[in-house]
């Protein structure tokens, strides 16, 4: 069965980003595609140190547990990273993670090729479009397929646990998630 990995980069327990990804997972599963949400909470993701060891070994040597996540993405057909906006850009750990995931793929078996997905940004008020642009760069440099929707993948929510109140944002995300699953089914035919 095809599978999508959804990566939550929020450190909060009742995270808005997590709520958004739960909606995504539900839509993906409705399409008959498996969905797994993984959290970076508590992981202390390190930045790429440009050691180049991934090109030799096919995995990342940094000892923070990201390599297990990389392995899950390698086995998947879709990838949806989601981050809260911090000071107008994506929370730092998601960019560290994406840069390392991309480096391992590009230097080795190119497991990201034709993987379907797209980024999601969650914010109280501002910085969502820049955050989406920042995270989209990962997809288009790694020969991936970005799925669309009828607006950009942004949800406006400040206090913990309030994401569902942004109905337009949630509808946009639901359509995006269903599209990810539908494209996977076409691509993997
Ligand atoms: C350090 C920090 C910086 C933030 N910067 C922004 C910002 O630039 N723009 C914004 O709209 N919200 C900002 N926020 C609010 C969060 O993006 C917002 O609360 C979001 O819902 C958090 O998602 P989460 O619940 O999944 O962690 C910031 C929050 C923190 C902790």
From the alpha carbon of 162, which atom of ligand 1 is closest?
21
Which residue matches tokens 């879709």? 78
- The whole-number pLDDT of residue 88 equals 98
Ligand 1-lining residues (CB < 6 angstroms)? 10, 12, 15-17, 84-88, 122-127, 157-158, 160
- Residue-wise pLDDT for 5-43, tens only, equals 999 999 999 999 999 999 999 999 999 999 999 999 999
Nearest CA to ligand 1 atom 17: 123
Write out pLDDT tens, residues 143-159.
Answer: 999 999 999 999 999 99
**Residue whose CA is at the smallest distance from ligand 1 atom 31:** 86
Mean pLDDT of 44-68: 97
List the chain domain ranges: 3-187
Q: Which atom of ligand 1 is nearest to the CA of 14?
A: 25
Which of 9, 31, 34 has its CA nearest to residue 120? 9
Q: How far, in Å, CA of 139 to CA of 156, rounded?
A: 23
> How many angstroms does the Cα of residue 24 sit away from the middle of ligand 1?
20
Helices 167-187 and 16-30: crossing angle, nearest 10°? 40
Question: Among 6, 85, 128, 157, which is best to mutate for testing ligand 1, by the most ligand atoms less than 8 A from CB?
Answer: 85
% of the chain with per-residue pLDDT over 90: 99
Quick one: which of 17, 62, 59, 60 has its CA closest to 38? Answer: 17
pLDDT at 119 exceeding the cut of 80: yes
Q: Specify the pTM.
A: 0.98
Q: In whole angstroms, what separates CA 78 from the centre of its chain?
A: 9
CA-nearest residue, atom 28 of ligand 1? 86
Q: Which atom of ligand 1 is nearest to the CA of 10?
A: 27
Q: Which CATH superfamily is domain 3-187 in?
A: Flavodoxin domain (3.40.50.360)
- Residue 189: pLDDT above 80? no
Ligand 1 atom at minimum distance from 126 CA = 11
Q: How far is CA 139 from CA 42, 58, 90, 135, 185, in A?
A: 25, 20, 15, 8, 19
Q: State both tokens at 147.
A: 């799925």
CA 139 – CA 92 distance, rounded (Å): 17
Can you read off the two tokens belonging to residue 117?
Answer: 């997905």
DSSP string, the chain: --EEEEEE----TT-HHHHHHHHHHHHHHHTT-EEEEEE-TT--PPPP----HHHHHSS---SSSHHHHHHHHHH-SEEEEEEEEETTEE-HHHHHHHHHHHHHHHHTT-TTTT-EE--EEEESSS-HHHHHHHHHHHHHHTT-EE---SS-SEEE--STT-GGG-HHHHHHHHHHHHHHHHHHHHHT-
């Amino acid at each position: 069965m095809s599978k999508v990995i959804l990566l939550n980069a929020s450190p909060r327990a009742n995270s808005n980003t997590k709520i958004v990804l739960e909606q995504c997972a539900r839509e993906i599963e409705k399409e008959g595609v498996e969905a797994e949400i993984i959290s970076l909470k508590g992981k202390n993701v390190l930045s790429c140190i440009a050691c180049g060891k991934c090109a030799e070994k096919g995995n990342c040597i940094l000892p923070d547990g990201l390599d297990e996540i990389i392995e899950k993405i390698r086995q998947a057909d879709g990838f949806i990273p989601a981050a809260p906006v911090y000071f107008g850009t994506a929370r730092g750990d998601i960019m560290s993670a994406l840069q390392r995931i991309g480096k391992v793929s590009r230097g080795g078996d190119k497991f990201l090729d034709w993987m379907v997905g797209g980024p999601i940004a969650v914010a109280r008020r501002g910085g969502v479009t820049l955050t989406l642009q920042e995270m989209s760069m990962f997809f288009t440099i790694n020969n991936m397929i970005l799925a669309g929707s009828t607006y950009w993948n942004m949800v406006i929510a400040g206090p913990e646990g309030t994401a569902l109140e942004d109905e337009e944002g949630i509808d946009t995300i639901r359509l995006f998630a269903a599209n990810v699953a539908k494209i996977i089914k076409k691509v993997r035919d």
